[in-house]
Amino acid sequence: MRKVSVLLQHDAVVGETDPRLFGAFVEHLGRCVYGGIYEPGHKTADKQGFRHDVLALVRELAPTIMRYPGGNFVSGYNWEDGVGPVEKRPRRLDLAWMSTEPNTFGTNEFIDWCRLAGIEPMLAVNLGTRGGDAARELLEYCNHPKGTALSDLRRKHGWEEPHDVRFWCLGNEMDGPWQMEMKTADEYGRIAVEAAKLMKWIDPRIELAACGSSGRNMPTFGAWEDRVLQHTFAHVEYISLHTYVNNYAHDTPALLASPDLMDGFIEEVVAIADSVAARAHSTKRIMLSFDEWNVWYRTRRSSDVRVKPGWPVAPQILEEIYSMEDALAFGGMCISLLNHADRVKVACLAQLVNVIAPIMTETGGPAWRQTIFHPFAQMSHFGRGRVLRAEIDSPTYAASYYDPRGSADLHFPLPSVPYLKLAAVEDTGTGAITLFALNRHLEQPMPLEVTLRGFGTPALIEALQLRHANLKATNTKDRPDRVSPSTLTGVTLGVDRMKATLAPASWNMIRLGRPG
């Protein structure tokens, strides 16, 4: 491959990453809660039943905010079922995942788990089977200090101090026919704005995200965002986006190109939000909450992998086993998020444990890292700061990405996909620059030359690569480190310059220090 050049200039900046860009998601779904973060009786579990082997991996992964309790689950959830004495909590049918929900873990346990993990909680309210009334009651229960029935109920349940949850999702994927009590954009917009009003009257410090489309390929995408924001514009701070990329077509180049569609999706939602602002003659800018993103397809389409018969508790569903190539596509999605740090202020990797997750467990057994764990952990640790606007000169390839979600099977042509996908972030404290770089060529190494204008001569702190000769290689209980980062050798530095050779089909993180 010919030389690939990147120009970074000190004053050319996309924006600053918000700490909430590095979030994840815990849903009552399969073994995410039960057998995932919570497993009383497990040898590492504490008095509350929290698995500490999982907690150790969560700390290493370093998510900053955690969305809960769904997902599709929230659209049928009665939050009252999950609080109070555990022995009195009802078991319920969960129609999202055809399971039995035992409710032995609920909002208060989730908040305790977040505090223990050092993670900000993000709660979603049920705007499917319920509405503004249940939403305001949950908020009063969580955030009001004391002296009302619901705040005193929380105190009676053992949580004297308010939970002080600041970020709230107004429902989940309300445009999807799979959603309990799916709505049209106008129906949802009306319910969302009324719920938002009640919630902010109780606690004006909260921030709210309205549901955007559940995918770019939904038939109502675009019109949905426009109508929903026309209803909610004055009352919310965020609109949500969801994307799961796939390799149904067994077309790895197309899978690795798919994060470029995520770039387009983000830019389209920004344009729609700003057009609503323009029509409202407003300078307010709605920010984006990319509150579900990942690779997901093997455990998605057929009901036999999604639903187990007999209404089981915590069935083994959506337990996607991630490969090396998934980690590459996933890394590309990380880069897309970073490069839109000016407008994407919140993002949640869906999900955290067992269910389409970076962390896997065996119930009663060990926990380990999936392949996608590594790009996320690197991004969360070193992606904080000023995202630099990278000018990239790279050869390209053509791909066609197949995406079956929604009512039709769609093919997205991608005529010009640069082999290099890259984000560069400057740590505002130390001045260190971290490059996240994906070589999407499956056979050829990439000679990379980065010009760093206005930074002085850099020094190498660390260079890591994630690659495997077999793109289908996975991490398993018995071989948990088969796909894991190794040192990238051969990085050279000169005046204003860094050179490296990126292996074919590799994810790379290169950290450069500023001269002292």
State the catalytic residues: 173, 292
Query: Which residue, 109 or 292, is less far from ligand AHR as judged by CB?
Result: 292
Q: What secondary structure letter does DSSP report for 321?
A: P
> Taking the complex as a whole, how short is the minimal distance between the CB of residue 75 and ligand AHR, in angstroms?
9
Going from the C-alpha of 510 to that of each of 95, 202, 265, 485, the distances in angstroms are: 46, 46, 28, 12
Least distance CB 215 / ligand AHR (angstroms): 8
Shortest distance, CB of residue 303 to ligand AHR, whole angstroms? Answer: 14
The mark string for 12-41 relative to ligand AHR (x by CB under 6 A, - otherwise) is ---------------x--------------
Q: Does 70 bind ligand AHR (CB under 6 A)?
A: yes
Distance from C-alpha of 103 to C-alpha of 98, rounded to nearest angstrom: 15
Per the rule left: phi > 0, alpha: psi between -120 and 50, beta: everything else, 462 is beta
Q: How many residues does the chain have?
A: 516
What x-and-dash track marks residues 213-252 binding ligand AHR by CB under 6 A?
Answer: -x--------------------------------------
Which range of residues in 66-74, 79-87, 102-110, 134-142 is near ligand AHR by CB under 6 A? Answer: 66-74
How far is residue 251 from each of residues 14, 196, 295, 400, 413, measured CA to CA in Å?
Answer: 32, 43, 14, 9, 13
Query: Would you say 192 or 423 has its CB closer to ligand AHR?
Result: 192
Distance of CA 181 to the CA centre of its chain: 24
From the list 135, 194, 192, 193, the residue with the least C-alpha distance to 165 is 135
Straight-line distance from the first to the last Cα atom of the chain, in angstroms, rounded to the nearest whole number:
35
- Phi/psi region, residue 264 (left: phi>0; alpha: psi -120 to 50; beta: rest), is alpha
Contact, 443 vs 488, CB < 8 A? no
Residue ranges of the alpha helices (H) in 49-106? 52-61
* Beta-bridge mates of residue 92: 101
174 vs 425, beta carbon nearer ligand AHR: 174
Nearest-CB residue to ligand AHR? 71
Interface positions, 71-130, toward ligand AHR (CB under 6 A): 71-72
CB of 29 to ligand AHR, least distance (A): 6
Distance CA 71, CA 298 (A): 19
- The dihedrals phi and psi of 136, each to the nearest 5 degrees, come to -70, -35
Closest among 71, 20, 45, 48 to 351, alpha carbons compared: 71
Count how many Cα atoms sit within 13 Å of the Cα of residue 12 in the half-sphere of its side chain: 13
- Based on the shown chain and the rule CB under 6 A, indicate whether residue 403 belongs to the binding site for ligand AHR: no
Q: How far is the CB of 304 from ligand AHR (least distance, A)?
A: 17
Region from 65-73, 78-86, 127-135, 142-150 binding ligand AHR, contact rule CB under 6 A: 65-73
Closer residue to ligand AHR (CB): 101 or 140:
101
Output 32 or 466, the one with its CB closest to ligand AHR: 32
Nearest distance, CB of residue 291 and ligand AHR, angstroms: 9
Contacts with ligand AHR: how many residues (CB under 6 A)? Answer: 10
Write down the least CB distance from residue 151 to ligand AHR, Å.
30
Interaction pattern, residues 257-296, with ligand AHR; x per rule: CB under 6 A: -----------------------------------x----
CB of 387 closer than 8 Å to CB of 434: no
Contact 354, 317 (CB under 8 A): no
Mark the segment that binds ligand AHR (CB under 6 A) among 64-72, 121-129, 470-478, 502-510: 64-72
* SS3 (DSSP) at 177: coil
Q: Does 351 bind ligand AHR (CB under 6 A)?
A: yes
- Annotate each residue in 160-199 with x if it binds ligand AHR (CB under 6 A) or - if it does not, as one string: ------------xx--------------------------
CA dihedral angle for residue 42, residue 44, residue 49, residue 51, rounded to 10 degrees: -100
Beta-strand relationship, 167-170 and 207-210: parallel
Kindly tell me which of 8 and 122 has the beta carbon lying closer to ligand AHR: 122
Of the pair 240, 465, the CB lying nearest ligand AHR is at: 240
Please report how close the Cβ of residue 117 comes to ligand AHR at its closest, in angstroms: 20
Which spans of this chain sit near ligand AHR (rule: CB under 6 A)? 27, 70-72, 172-173, 214, 292, 350-351
